[in-house]
Amino acid sequence: MAFDDHGDAIGMIELSIRAYAEGCATDRVAFVEGWYVEPGVRGTGVGAALIGAAESWARSQGCTELGSDAEVDNLSSAAAHLAVGFVETGVVRCFKKSL
């Protein structure tokens, strides 16, 4: 969690370790399951600080890759990922069929 000077929550990141993540080569990948920064403080370094904390945690878990994803049409998330050093590895469409 990230908090402002008044103790109010302004951002969060949720992490897991996955055996597989798109575009990653290892079988133990730290993965960003959720990453959010309040709109009023976006672009101020809060998101980058959260990713920096995620990287430290991932290394402490023995991971050498950090994976993440975003919906295809979420261009602001894609831009945020690129801004903190992620590289896009592909676009995936997901399908389901009710039985």
Q: At which residue do the structure tokens 């990922």 appear?
A: 81
pLDDT tens sequence across 60-80:
999 999 999 999 999 999 999
pLDDT for residue 93: 84
Report the distance separating Cα 77 and Cα 36, nearest Å. Answer: 9
pTM over the 0.75 mark = yes
pLDDT tens sequence across 15-44:
999 999 999 999 999 999 999 999 999 999
Q: DSSP letters along 25-77, please?
A: -SSSEEEEEEEEE-GGGTTTTHHHHHHHHHHHHHHHTT-S-EE----TT-HHH
pLDDT for residue 94: 83
Report the distance separating Cα 70 and Cα 10, nearest Å. Answer: 20
Amino acid at 98: S
Architecture of domain 2-83: 3-Layer(aba) Sandwich (3.40)
What band does 52 get if pLDDT is binned at 50, 70 and 90?
very high
Residue 92 has pLDDT above 90, yes or no: no
